[in-house]
Chain A
Amino acid sequence: MGLWLAVARHSFRRASAYPAAVVAGLLTNTVFGCVRAWVLLAAFAGGARMGGYDATDAVTFSFLTQGLIMATGGWNLGELPERIRTGDIAVDLHRPVDLQAWWLAADLGRSAFHLVARGVVPLLAGAALFDLRWPTRAGAIALPLSLALAVLVSFGLRYLLSLACFWLLDERGLNAVYGLLNLFLNGLLLPLVLFPGWLRAVALHLPWAMTMQVPADVWLGKHDGAVPMARTLGLQALWAAILLLGGRAVTRLAVRKVVVHGG
């Protein structure tokens, strides 16, 4: 346990090493949050309600998701694919520790830093410029658990896809496909609740929804009540379990396949 805490702590400190980068990221997140908010405000003009959202929900969603980008947004697959391509993965495999657990601990440390450092300011900036909705009581209580599960799902997805690089040997194509699909399916381009008909139903149950849409909906009080909340958190936990177990299984296959470049 001490080992994993140390890995997480170092990853946390590494993420915090460049305060200027954090400020730059906050500026970008806030600008994008504003653009998305104004687009949705124009769509909700005249007090419309769509997909269970009103204008305030939609604006709040824009800043919540921008704030979660670094923690659970999974902008790209991270550094693991690059280590597989360059062969640095050999170093990771030599450590007498579990590969998946090592990267999970590192990702938890990184995410913990970004939840705070990148999550709070876009919301405050959003609150200064727009009318935002603050969490309901039930939402506030369930939010920490929902965020923790979102981090696990986000890691599980990225880890599993990263392992594909053991076969592809180059992460660029996969990163490009993943980056665009991720943006679409996690709600950053448009809240998933505004998707049409069956696509909405499907998208809301895919793992990408667990990383941003679900925590945002928990915040907005869309799952208030014991049964809906238990169902929502249960679905998040189910996806986290599936992805983490899947990651374990594929890790076993992948290490047998390992090719170290440049050796």
Chain B
Amino acid sequence: MAEALRLYLVLARAEYRSAAQHRASFALLALTSTLLVALDFVVIAFLLQRIPRLGGFSLAELGVLYGLASTAERLADLMVGDIEKVGVQVKAGTFDLVLLRPGPALVQVAAPSCRPQMLGRPLQALVILGISLSQAGVPWSWDRVALLPATVACGTLIMVAVWVAGAAFTFVAVDARESMNAFTYGGGVLAQYPLSIYASWFRHLFTFVLPVAFVSWFPALHLLGRPDPLGLPEWFRFAAPVAADASTTVAAVAWRAAVRRYRSTGS
């Protein structure tokens, strides 16, 4: 494990040094990652200028959902996001090289995602989370204080699992790799809004199959001291670790099965 982590950091550093060669591009990236990613919160604020509440949630409460969802999604993207490019390697047959090198395949394909210039993205979401929590009138208590970091950690793990499982799927359906975006970025976006605004089949899909609802919705209900408009059991609010454990297990199994199944290309 320590060896895998060391390899991850070495590869991430190499990626950083290569990106830093193009100075203008590097500066633009750093600027975008810190400023422009806030635009998806800006549009929520635009909407809330016209209406007092969205699905019964005030702007500050929506900011809590947004902050939890985006922090988890962007931390996961920062840690493993480049794994979505594995489909290109599988298609070209260059995944052979990954398997030939001494070191876990997952680390090798995920490490280039760790770019310091992208650190601003999760940081921006954390800032919005902090401001929103201070404005939302959270009835602070020790369990809420403990729930907050646990939610960010479990949420990130859930999103990492979605990415890894999606990448495993691209081994089977190389040309269909874009469909994983529906669940990675799509999951990140849908978790920014109250789960109660979606149709029931959609809510069930993202609660019980892909547990994205545990990234933001259930913990946020407890943080904000709100009753669940959907009437799901109280313990769901604390079940993010269970969801994270289950989803990372499934993702790990899927990834190993996918790598084992890999046959190089003959063309």
Contacts and interface: CB of A to CB of B under 8 A. Distances in A.
Interface of A: 18-21, 23-25, 27-28, 31-32, 34-35, 38-39, 41-43, 45, 48, 50-51, 129, 168-174, 176-177, 180-181, 183-184, 189-190, 194-196
- Complex A-B, nearest 9 residue pairs according to Cβ-Cβ distance, in ascending order: A173-B28, A173-B25, A24-B179, A170-B22, A20-B175, A24-B176, A190-B43, A170-B25, A180-B36
Contact of A168 (B24, B179, B193): B24
B19 A184 contact: no
A38 B49 CA distance: 18
Interface string B12-28: 00000001001011111
Interface in B36-64: 36-37, 39-40, 42-43, 46-47, 49-51, 54-55
A170 B21 CA distance: 10
9 contacts: A28-B181, A38-B198, A43-B51, A168-B24, A176-B32, A189-B39, A190-B46, A194-B46, A196-B50
A43 B50 CA distance: 9
Given A170-B25, A172-B19, A24 B178 contact: yes
A31 B182 contact: yes
Contact of A180 (B37, B178, B190, B199): B37
A176 B33 contact: yes
Given A20-B175, A28-B178, A190-B46, A43 B54 contact: yes
Contact of A42 (B26, B46, B55): B55
Nearest to A176: B32
Interface residues of B, number: 43
Given A21-B176, A184-B36, 14 more contacts: A24-B175, A25-B179, A28-B178, A34-B198, A35-B189, A35-B190, A38-B199, A39-B54, A42-B55, A170-B25, A173-B25, A177-B36, A180-B37, A181-B36
B177 interface: yes
B9 interface: no
A189 B51 contact: no
Interface of B: 19, 22, 24-29, 31-33, 36-37, 39-40, 42-43, 46-47, 49-51, 54-55, 173-179, 181-183, 186, 189-190, 193-194, 197-199, 202
B32 A20 contact: no
Contacts of A176: 28-29, 32-33, 36
A204 to B, nearest CB: 14
Nearest to B36: A180
B46 A174 contact: no
B173 A31 contact: no
Nearest to B198: A38
A25 B24 CA distance: 32
Contact of B24 (A48, A173, A180): A173
Given A21-B178, A168-B22, A177-B36, A196 B197 contact: no
Given A20-B173, A194-B46, A32 B182 contact: yes
Contacts of B182: 27-28, 31-32
Contacts of A129: 199
A228 to B, nearest CB: 24
A195 B46 contact: yes
A176 B164 CA distance: 23
Nearest to A200: B46
A127 to B, nearest CB: 15
A52 B85 CA distance: 42
A180 B193 contact: no
Most buried by B among A38, A174, A184: A38
Contact of B25 (A45, A174, A190): A174
Contacts of A20: 173-176
Contacts of B189: 32, 35
Contacts of A28: 178-179, 181-182, 186
Contacts of B174: 20
Given A24-B179, A31-B186, A190-B46, A172 B22 contact: yes
B25 to A, nearest CB: 3
A25 B25 contact: no
A197 to B, nearest CB: 9
B69 to A, nearest CB: 12
B58 to A, nearest CB: 13
Contacts of A183: 39-40
Contacts of B25: 168-174
B85 to A, nearest CB: 13
Nearest to A35: B190
B188 to A, nearest CB: 10
A50 B50 CA distance: 8
A35 B51 contact: no
A21 B178 CA distance: 7
Nearest to B197: A42
A45 to B, nearest CB: 8
